[in-house]
Structure 1
Amino acid sequence: MAKSYSYDVFPSFRGADVRKSFLSHLIKEFDQKHINTFKDNKIERSQSLKPTLEKAIRTSKIAVVVLSQNYASSSWCLNELLEIMYCMEEFRQIVIPVYYGLDPSHVRHQTGDFGEIFENTCHNQPEELKVRWRGALSNLANIFGYHSKSWDNEAKMVEEIANYDSEDIVGIENHMAELESLLDFESEKGRMVGIMGSSGIGKTTIARVLFNRHSHRFQGSVFVDKAFVSRSMEIYGGANPYDYNMKFHLLEKFLSEILGKDLKNFHTGAVEEKLKNHKVLIFVDDLENHFVLDTLAGDINWFGPGSRIIVITKHEHILRAHGIDHFYKVPLPSDGLALQFFCRNAFRQNSPPGDFMELASESALHAGNLPSGLVVLGSYLRGRYKKEWIDMLIMFRKRQFGKIEEILKFRYNGLNNQNDEAIFHHCRSRL
């Protein structure tokens, strides 16, 4: 099986004490659960963020940032954090902070011993960079995380972190059953299938779960998302999408990812030549035009028997134009599932407390049962008093909100401070 260069988890940490104790236990737990974790043992760190590390961060589904007292002693770690927070904003990467013997408020405000160490690291650094580091630390500290001082048993905390996964979403098994039937993994005949639905309905989350569950069946696999494509677009930003050089660069990354080795001296028709005998699993996410699909997976016959191509898009005409007649249209959750989804984010449980039932039901209704809206509203209302819930609902009744874009606009316009804004961006990154 080809080596994978995409990771489920990227750990960011500082210090041999963390590596030999907490982190080693965490990585062991990840390994036992077959969670693909980036390990930097063989990479020599320098003052700049090496391409290998940048690629590892951008291709990871989750970044776990382990903050100990010495985390801020390294400009390398702080630059690594900048890249992680960028990926959270741009590519919806999940970020999990872990405070190991450290007060989160010291990270948020750069105070205490952590703050002193941070100031020493900032010495002789450009002011602009110091401001960016401060912003990254403050935003990170506003994300829900794990605090070692709150756990009596470190082993249980490690297990809880390792269990954090997007598969724990409401109704996921129903989606899996429909897609697994459509894909018919036991058949040796190649198949192209679509996942279709409106923005915010959860297509990417469903696709990621499907990819994680079934990639082990194949000789090679790749999840082509916005982050994957953007790396080619950045190099040839001013080019037409069909520019030869950009197309060539995209193909090079694609083939290297599946085959697990760098390729040189190949032509643009090399996909069929290199992969015709390989059973592969390919996901192409957030497809807005034909360019990426035509370039990387123009025909199922390019790939070996048993291969599966899954295309995720909100545009049915793109699927039909490519001859993909079999697709799963992601439905909105039922009222009951929507309420459960909302409560997971608002109360961290499957149902509302008795005195919040009516308020929670109406709040979920205003999200239009759309999963992304349920995440945003639920996260926004978590921990707030009843009066704040009622005030928000009054605003929704007057404005007649319903669409996810309007909910996001409401959430952003209603921010009171930088902490609120950081929470909003975190919620949005989870959509």
Structure 2
Amino acid sequence: MHVHICISTFSLVCFNRNENKAIKDIVEKITHLLDKTDLFIADKPVGVGSRVQDVIELLDIQQSNDVLLLGMWGMGGIGKTTIAKAIYNEIGRNFEGRSFLANVREVWDENAGKVNLQEQLLFDICKDMTIKIQSIESGKIILKDRLCRKRVLILLDDVNTLDQLNALCGSHKWFGPGSRIIITTRDKHILSGNRVNKVFKMKHMVESESIELFSWHAFKQASPTNDFVEISRNVVEYSGGLPLALEVLGSYLFDREVTEWKSALDKLKRIPNNQLQKKLRISYDALNDDIEKEIFLDVACFFIGMDRNDVTLILNGCGLFAEIGISILVERSLVTVDDKNKLGMHDLLRDMGREIIREKSPEELEERCRLWFHDDVLHVLSEQTGTKAIKGLTLKFPRANEKCFSTKAFKKMTRLRLLQLAGVKLDGDFEYLSRNLRWLSWNGFSLTHIPTNFYKGSLVSIELENSNVKLLWKEAQRMEKLKILNLSHSHCLTHTPDFSYMPNLEKLVLKDCPMLSEVSPSIGNLSEILLIDLEDCVSLRSLPGSIYKLKSLKTLILSGCIMIDELEEDIEQMESLTILLANNTGIKRVPFSVVRSKSIGYISLCGHEGFSRDVFPSIIWSWLSPTNNLSSLVQTSNVMSSLVSVDVPNSSSHELLSISKYLPSLRSLWVECSSELQLSHDAAIILDALYATDYKGFESIAITSQVSNMTTSTSQVSEHSFKSLLIQMGTNCQVTNILKEKIVQNMDLNGSGDCLLPTDGYPDWLTFHSEGSSVTFQVPQVEGRSLKTMMCIVYTSTPANMISSGLKNMLVKNHTKATIQLYKSEALVSFEDEESQRVISSIEPGNKVEVIVVFENSFIVKKTAVYLVYDEQIGEKVELYDVPERKKIEWNESKKDGACKPFYC
């Protein structure tokens, strides 16, 4: 009946349309009405709606007619397929054709699965059952040919290889305009390299969503019954916001007693649910090789919560190529790395990994490759049943409940490479411990030194926190492989070991060693060291001079070393030092060499803390305190860089003269003079210093900034070039843009340097100009308006081979207020709002102001003009102009030879 009605309706329109078009419309309408192939989502789709809308927003269906590929990435069981199905149902009918290819990974591996997927895709879109695909390559050609003119929606579910992606959606060109292709995958690498336009990272369910979804399956209602509220929260916490786990466990626990729930939860912590295990294990089984699987199992048993860099060093020492291995685990959603670089793993994935180990030897504990469960490890060590199968072992007790075992328990563990102990004592011959040991983490090590007969030659990391060590060892042994040494909170340690025996050490952590009074001078031999942490070593009075020779050191931490009262100027030699933390020490003054450092990016010292670009100016200002007069800056030499701005209140000409040779290096300088006579003297000192500076090799300036704008144009006449430069100080407004446009339209420069400029546009702007490099004017009172921007236009002549703008500095002299403002060209380029507003706010009606531009010696300044731009009155209508931000003005050939106009660059 519905079909008949549609045909009748559309037949009325056929009289007014092309016949083919009408037939096509009828077919599309009928197909739309008959397309009832919606996919089943879930009985209770908790949290689905919001996620679907998030993805649809990324798809940008209404706004963009481009072909767009979107990847949905996340761990197994997180709901990728459910969301994809819901999207298919929600928007599928808006396309000429749609196809949902489920379980691509599984189907691909079946006999003829590859071409079956291509044929299914073709049939879903074209409804043609007659086409048979003979091979993958021919299928690609057919798909491209049949789909390139259709606007389609395609969902490829559970893609895990690039071959699958290439066979089913080789490129954007396969599909018609406006098409959308969605790929769900556990492997982020599938989506990398611009293979997709956007990636949607699946998120775990929040607690409220988790409880609701779990309750629908466990209680057939939206919330737990009263007796099960607390234990339901425990199950939800164990599930970690994973929808699959919530559904499976909810169904498993449905209609069971509280005691059964408790028993089941205890069992799950030892033996994961088999249905979950199979689903989650897919990602593990899909890993490329045994090495990647080894890394995953090591992380699951030992390294969750540890620094990624440390784990990488340890696993590399085990020959496991950890850089690429960990990256792949992250891409496969098996491991996470947080913003502090700590490794993480979903609890269910952790338990899945541990179950893989357990199920290989469920009865014989000693035959498992890794031991992590407390009771199992306790049994193996107590009974001394360990075997060579064991590669890693961890056992932790509270320090108050220390347990003692014989070293003989390790005798047969010859392949042991990872050992983590806490609250454990070992008695006996340490020679029994494996010679293959790479990682020794022993919290609460009770001996005063590491026994001599303990083989240390294979160790990559020694972590003895909260130990009783006084000296690390009595007889040193060369440890070429050692990368990490951590003796933090060892309250008996008095001296560091001889570092000559560990030449490849990268990380030295001696935090909170209150008895440590001496650091071995051999520390200067650590050519690979990256981090030295001596925080809260309160007895340490000084650092050996050799420490300043470390070229590789990136982080030095001395915070809390209250007896250290100075850092040597040689710290400048630490050319890789990026982070220096030395707050709460005896150091009273920041060394000049710290500010000279080209590498330090973050600093905490003498009450100054933050990024160097923010802190260094305040450090320099601290040197200019009443107890340190201006002349002390002479000692800073190269300290003055383009990052440094200095204010000098109540200066004296003598002091300014003493630092004159450093003035050209300052980012900015603000000098307050006591009189106009001193103003004249100080300005002369500054200008002499600026013109005396050799600026050979001066680099060209490329500028486009909202608050500071330099615009350059060039005209070449015989052997000389004529340049125009526009400098803006202040903020943009409508009038500023109008004036810029007029300048661009009317400004002309000929071989003589003559120019045509906009005249006064009172009350919007006022014009002042003069021959040469300076302009002097008295700031007028403009009723009802305030000064917004100052624009300076400079015309110069220079040899034709010069490519730079030539500008070195700009000087603003306020004769009325007796102040001088000096800005380096780099400062004008990157003016911040606060700086530019300071310039404008210092210029008041009635002030006599002089603007001076300083150029390289080879530049001749022909003319300088200054425009004062005022803001509009409230309610006043200002005509708007269309002024592009980046606009090139074409050469005006009607002008005389050599004429040109400025262009925005």
TM value normalised by structure 1: 0.51
Name the CA shift for 1:167/1:386 in 2 (closer, same or farther; >3 Å). closer
The residue that corresponds to 2:36 in the other structure is 36
1:180 to 56, 76, 84: 56
Name the CA shift for 1:405/1:383 in 2 (closer, same or farther; >3 Å). farther
1:205 and 2:82 aligned: yes
The CA distance in 1 between the partners of 2:220 and 2:35, in whole Å, is 24
The residue that corresponds to 2:93 in the other structure is 216
The residue that corresponds to 2:424 in the other structure is none
The CA distance in 2 between the partners of 1:262 and 1:400, in whole Å, is 45
1:258 and 2:112 aligned: no
Deviation, structure 1 residue 287: 0.6
The CA distance in 2 between the partners of 1:389 and 1:302, in whole Å, is 53
The residue that corresponds to 1:171 in the other structure is 47
Equivalent AA in structure 2 for residue 225 of structure 1: A
SS of match in other structure, 1:360: helix
The CA distance in 1 between the partners of 2:47 and 2:116, in whole Å, is 38
The CA distance in 2 between the partners of 1:395 and 1:249, in whole Å, is 42
The CA distance in 1 between the partners of 2:258 and 2:35, in whole Å, is 40
Report if the CA contact (8 A) 1:188-1:306 is conserved: yes
Q: Which runs of 5+ in 1 are unaligned?
A: 1-32, 38-59, 63-164, 237-245, 414-431
The CA distance in 1 between the partners of 2:354 and 2:211, in whole Å, is 22
CA displacement 1:60-83 (0-9 Å, x = unmatched)? 956xxxxxxxxxxxxxxxxxxxxx
Equivalent AA in structure 1 for residue 232 of structure 2: A
The residue that corresponds to 1:376 in the other structure is 248
The CA distance in 2 between the partners of 1:190 and 1:174, in whole Å, is 24
Deviation, structure 1 residue 396: 4.2
The residue that corresponds to 2:221 in the other structure is 349
Equivalent AA in structure 1 for residue 45 of structure 2: I
Equivalent AA in structure 2 for residue 312 of structure 1: T
- Aligned-pair Cα RMSD in Å: 3.1
CA displacement 1:400-421 (0-9 Å, x = unmatched)? 99316858999xx9xxxxxxxx
Deviation, structure 1 residue 234: 3.3
1:289 to 153, 158, 161: 161
Report if the CA contact (8 A) 2:102-2:156 is conserved: yes
Deviation, structure 1 residue 249: 4.8
1:75-114 equivalences under 5 Å are none
1:358 to 196, 214, 230: 230
The CA distance in 1 between the partners of 2:265 and 2:94, in whole Å, is 48
Name the CA shift for 1:168/1:300 in 2 (closer, same or farther; >3 Å). farther
1:105-144 equivalences under 5 Å are none
Report if the CA contact (8 A) 1:275-1:304 is conserved: yes
Equivalent AA in structure 2 for residue 216 of structure 1: R
Deviation, structure 1 residue 378: 0.6
The CA distance in 2 between the partners of 1:247 and 1:333, in whole Å, is 34
The residue that corresponds to 2:348 in the other structure is 403
Name the CA shift for 1:392/1:305 in 2 (closer, same or farther; >3 Å). same
1:299 and 2:171 aligned: yes
State the structure with bigger RCO (CA 8 A, min sep 6), 1 or 2. 1
The CA distance in 2 between the partners of 1:390 and 1:234, in whole Å, is 42
Deviation, structure 1 residue 394: 3.3
Deviation, structure 1 residue 251: 2.7
The CA distance in 1 between the partners of 2:101 and 2:198, in whole Å, is 20
Report if the CA contact (8 A) 2:104-2:157 is conserved: no
Query: Is the strand fraction higher in 1 or 2?
Result: 2
Deviation, structure 1 residue 174: 1.5
Report if the CA contact (8 A) 2:239-2:245 is conserved: yes
Report if the CA contact (8 A) 1:370-1:404 is conserved: no
Name the CA shift for 1:296/1:396 in 2 (closer, same or farther; >3 Å). closer
2:71 to 194, 201, 204: 194
Query: Is the helix fraction higher in 1 or 2?
Result: 1
Report if the CA contact (8 A) 1:252-1:263 is conserved: no
The CA distance in 2 between the partners of 1:35 and 1:257, in whole Å, is 11
The residue that corresponds to 2:186 in the other structure is 314
Equivalent AA in structure 2 for residue 251 of structure 1: Q
Report if the CA contact (8 A) 1:191-1:300 is conserved: yes
The CA distance in 1 between the partners of 2:34 and 2:202, in whole Å, is 28
Equivalent AA in structure 2 for residue 213 of structure 1: E
The CA distance in 1 between the partners of 2:184 and 2:218, in whole Å, is 29
The residue that corresponds to 1:241 in the other structure is none
Name the CA shift for 1:34/1:409 in 2 (closer, same or farther; >3 Å). farther
The residue that corresponds to 2:195 in the other structure is 323
1:270-281 equivalences under 5 Å are 270-281=142-153
Name the CA shift for 1:36/1:229 in 2 (closer, same or farther; >3 Å). farther
Equivalent AA in structure 1 for residue 225 of structure 2: P
CA displacement 1:180-223 (0-9 Å, x = unmatched)? 11001112121000111001101101111111111111111111
Report if the CA contact (8 A) 1:193-1:309 is conserved: yes
Report if the CA contact (8 A) 1:332-1:370 is conserved: yes
Aligned residues: 245
The CA distance in 2 between the partners of 1:307 and 1:262, in whole Å, is 23
Report if the CA contact (8 A) 1:192-1:310 is conserved: yes
Report if the CA contact (8 A) 1:339-1:360 is conserved: yes
CA displacement 1:131-181 (0-9 Å, x = unmatched)? xxxxxxxxxxxxxxxxxxxxxxxxxxxxxxxxxx52731111220121011
Percent identity of paired positions between Structure 1 and Structure 2: 30
Query: Which shifted more, 283-292 or 315-324?
Result: 315-324
SS of match in other structure, 1:169: coil
Deviation, structure 1 residue 252: 3.0
Name the CA shift for 1:349/1:386 in 2 (closer, same or farther; >3 Å). same
Deviation, structure 1 residue 293: 1.3
Name the CA shift for 1:354/1:182 in 2 (closer, same or farther; >3 Å). same
SS of match in other structure, 1:283: strand
Report if the CA contact (8 A) 2:68-2:197 is conserved: no
CA displacement 1:284-309 (0-9 Å, x = unmatched)? 11111011210111112211111000
SS of match in other structure, 1:323: coil
Deviation, structure 1 residue 372: 0.7
Name the CA shift for 1:379/1:405 in 2 (closer, same or farther; >3 Å). farther
Equivalent AA in structure 2 for residue 393 of structure 1: L
CA displacement 1:252-303 (0-9 Å, x = unmatched)? 3321221001243774412221111100001111111011210111112211
Report if the CA contact (8 A) 2:153-2:179 is conserved: yes
Equivalent AA in structure 1 for residue 77 of structure 2: G
The residue that corresponds to 2:261 in the other structure is 389
SS of match in other structure, 2:61: coil
Report if the CA contact (8 A) 2:39-2:86 is conserved: no
CA displacement 1:17-73 (0-9 Å, x = unmatched)? xxxxxxxxxxxxxxxx99836xxxxxxxxxxxxxxxxxxxxxx956xxxxxxxxxxx
Larger radius of gyration: 2
